[in-house]
Amino acid sequence: MKIIELFRRLAYGELSNLAVNIGSGQLLEASHPQMVQYVNEGLLRLYSRFILEEKVILIEQYEQIISYHLKNKYAESAGADISYPYIKDLPDEPFKGDVIRILQVSDEIGNVKVLNDKDDPDSFFTPQPDILQIPNPIEGEPLSVTYQARHWVLDDRVGKILDQEMDLPFFLEGALQSYVAYKVYSHMNGAENIGKGQENLAAYEAICVEVELKDLINQSFHTSHTKLEQRGFI
């Protein structure tokens, strides 16, 4: 779905009675940057609540490094002035630092590593969502890290907004629509607007709960493997 379609739905639906709606399925252009901020927040909430995309990256272990931060500057493609660029990505498929949380770690022959088990001497740990802690790293051994990825950040500059695509399952489009409406009303004064905001937040929650109950996400999400894996790691 494109931003322009989301705005059209809001103009004809939840925001139809507000001044921001200028008719013919359009929202006031001056409001677009703020709306995109609400959309970005809504997408982050949905991508955090549901595993909408998994990605896999490779890291190389160094015996002197215990904590591996999954951030852009540690990627080989970033070219940052650091001693150990342990994230092994490629220039045409760079790591974007889009980690919500680490889901699984495996070695080069596919053995899945135990995570966050303090009673297991071989366990790895994730003290923060984007940090992999390896108590006894093995020099030069690669690891495959599967993580829950976030949606890319949409551009909020006027003139670059409307044609942007969003990657969202059709059954969550209504949730995003309700969330954006909630944010609009929640930033307006008056008891009636506050009530409308809560009404839209409740609609957002109801859609999310229905998706969870029907287990729709597990039937549809996809995993993005890097070219490094396609070249024979896993």
Question: Of 113, 130, 150, which residue constitutes the final position of a domain?
Answer: 150
Residues 34 and 93 reside in one and the same domain: no
**Together in a domain, 88 and 115:** yes
Q: List alpha helices for the chain, DSSP H.
A: 3-12, 32-49, 173-186, 191-214, 227-230
For residue 214, tell me if it sits in a domain.
yes
Domain-embedded: residue 199: yes
What token pair was written down for 150? 């976030």
Residues 95 and 127 in one domain: yes
DSSP 188: S
Domain count, the chain: 2
Q: Which residues pair with 201 in a beta bridge?
A: none
| C-beta of residue 80 within 8 angstroms of C-beta of residue 89 | no
Residue 119 three-state SS:
coil
Are 142 and 159 part of one and the same domain?
no
pLDDT digits (tens, 9 = 90+) for 62-110: 999 999 999 999 999 988 889 999 999 988 889 999 999 999 999 999 9
pLDDT attached to residue 224: 54
Q: Are residues 68 and 125 in the same domain?
A: yes
3-class state of residue 142 by DSSP:
strand
For residues 223 and 226, give the distance between their C-alpha atoms in angstroms, rounded to a whole number: 10
Please give the structure tokens belonging to residue 194: 């506050």
Question: Three-state DSSP class for 112?
Answer: strand
In percent, the amount of the chain with pLDDT more than 70 equals 93
Q: Please compute the mean of the pLDDT values over residues 2-11 and round it to a whole number.
A: 96
Q: How confident is the model at residue 231 (pLDDT cuts 50, 70, 90)?
A: very low
Residue 145: Cβ-neighbour burial (10 angstroms; 0-12, 13-18, 19+): buried
Question: Of 126, 150, 174, at which residue does a domain stop?
Answer: 150
pLDDT of res. 220: 56
Burial label for 99, CB within 10 Å (0-12, 13-18, 19+), is buried
Best CA proximity match to 44, nearest among 148, 151, 126: 151
Q: Domain residues for 60?
A: 53-150
128 and 103 in one domain? yes
Say yes or no: 99 and 129 in one domain: yes
pLDDT score of 201: 97
In the beta sheet, which residues pair with residue 53? Answer: 222
- Of 150, 180, 207, which marks where a domain is finished? 150
Same domain, 59 and 130: yes
**Same domain flag for 139 and 27:** no
- 95 and 208 share a domain? no
* Per-residue pLDDT reduced to its tens digit, 163-187: 999 999 999 999 999 999 999 999 9
